[in-house]
Chain A
């Protein structure tokens, strides 16, 4: 089997994911008060990172589409949005799984939680919008909405966080991350970033292929008539 660049990334991702599972389950120390439940955190934070990178990708690709008007930018934005929604969903599922034993409830209206949920609504809305308008118009409408949505997130974040908050601030607040936890965290973030990259690329290839098929179908119809 010859290794080409198409295969290297998925293989790397697979290795990283296995390594992250091993690091999180075997290597990482058990948290004193929360116990094993805390291990969700490595996955939770890594999903959040992957979602954030995906949405940044949507934003950049949308600007790229507006400047260049090439479909490939639009396909990239749409693909990254789907992957971003997937990872945001995972963040919203793993968060409550951790919160239920630790906070004693599935959900609280904390700014971080609220804004993540809003993020999910915004990009689900983006996907719905994409489906509702076909063709170039849909691409442009999507690009414009993606820019509005991306800019709205920090605005929402600040407007809501001026209220109150209990979500742990692990990275900025210096919330006492054990040195032994840093490596498993880094490797699981790497693994999920790689995974999101693979998924976006696969989805992009699929979108380009679908486009190609459409064009061939149109050409065939023209030939028949």
Chain B
């Protein structure tokens, strides 16, 4: 775990110095949320009803951008090769990358949360616990898939387009679960239902994390 923590710390320090990813993602997501509101007829309640879905799609788009940026950083100057040469289990590289991407995503989502509440007229406090349980669990599954797929596509021609092409359909379970939990949390629905979906999300996370940990060392071997 020490190596994973070191990679996590390195990524976070890098971000703390530049704040490049978090700022870019927040501005991008703010823009997407705004643009979505134009897709409805003026005065209709559609955007508010679609809000959980809109927010999650925003998360996915921004998440893909963030992953791309995080791995571009590693490719520049051959850093990724250096990372793989480090005397540690490759699985730890995977966990470190997952952890740092997860934290960066959550920071940007925390900044976006009140903006979302204001734009789509939802209280940022009501049901916040359930909503964030869903967001964090959804993020874990997304990141587990995203990091392994970033490694898969790292040598691909036109990887900017191939990554979303592969990642979006694969992360559908996460999207379905995340949207369900968020809908229930914002609508103040029954806690039981939300809990069922939180359980399912946790199960997806376990599946994807185990698969990612097992498959990551295979993709990066030379």
Contacts and interface: CB of A to CB of B under 8 A. Distances in A.
B170 A148 contact: yes
Interface size class of B (residues with CB under 8 A): 20 to 34
Contacts of A147: 211, 215
B153 interface: yes
A132 B169 contact: no
B46 interface: no
B152 interface: yes
B208 to A, nearest CB: 8
A132 B176 contact: no
Contact of A133 (B156, B173, B176): B156
A122 interface: yes
Given A151-B207, A155-B207, A121 B218 contact: no
A116 B203 CA distance: 22
Given A148-B148, A155-B207, A141 B219 contact: yes
Contacts, number: 78
B8 interface: no
B207 A133 contact: no
Query: For chain B, what secondary structure do more than half of its interface residues adopt (helix, strand, loop), or is it mixed?
Result: helix
B166 A133 contact: no
Interface string A126-169: 00110011000100110111011101100110011011000000
B218 to A, nearest CB: 6
A125 B165 contact: yes
Contacts of A141: 152-153, 155-156, 219
B200 A159 contact: yes
B162 interface: yes
Interface string B153-176: 101111100100110111011001
Nearest to B156: A132
Given A129-B152, A159-B176, A66 B166 contact: no
A140 B219 CA distance: 6
A168 to B, nearest CB: 23
Contact of A118 (B149, B158, B169): B169
Contacts of B204: 155, 159
Nearest to B196: A162
Contact of B218 (A66, A129, A132): A66
Given A132-B158, A148-B148, A140 B173 contact: no
A192 B168 CA distance: 31
Given A125-B165, A133-B157, A141-B152, A156 B172 contact: yes
A132 to B, nearest CB: 4
**Which of A66, A125, A163 has the most chain B CB within a 10 Å cutoff?**
A125
B177 interface: yes
Nearest to A115: B172
B164 to A, nearest CB: 10
Interface string B66-85: 00000000000000000000
Contacts of B155: 133, 137, 141
A145 B152 contact: yes
A128 B157 CA distance: 10
B149 to A, nearest CB: 7
Contact of B215 (A118, A129, A148): A148
Given A125-B165, A141-B152, A151-B207, A132 B157 contact: yes
A132 B162 contact: yes
Given A148-B215, A155-B207, A156-B173, A132 B148 contact: no
18 contacts: A66-B218, A118-B169, A122-B166, A125-B165, A128-B162, A129-B152, A129-B156, A132-B158, A132-B159, A143-B218, A144-B219, A145-B152, A148-B211, A152-B172, A152-B173, A160-B172, A160-B176, A163-B176
Interface of B: 145, 148-149, 152-153, 155-159, 162, 165-166, 168-170, 172-173, 176-177, 200, 204, 207, 211, 215, 218-219, 221
Nearest 7 A-B pairs (CB), nearest first? A132-B156, A159-B173, A121-B169, A159-B176, A141-B152, A125-B166, A144-B215
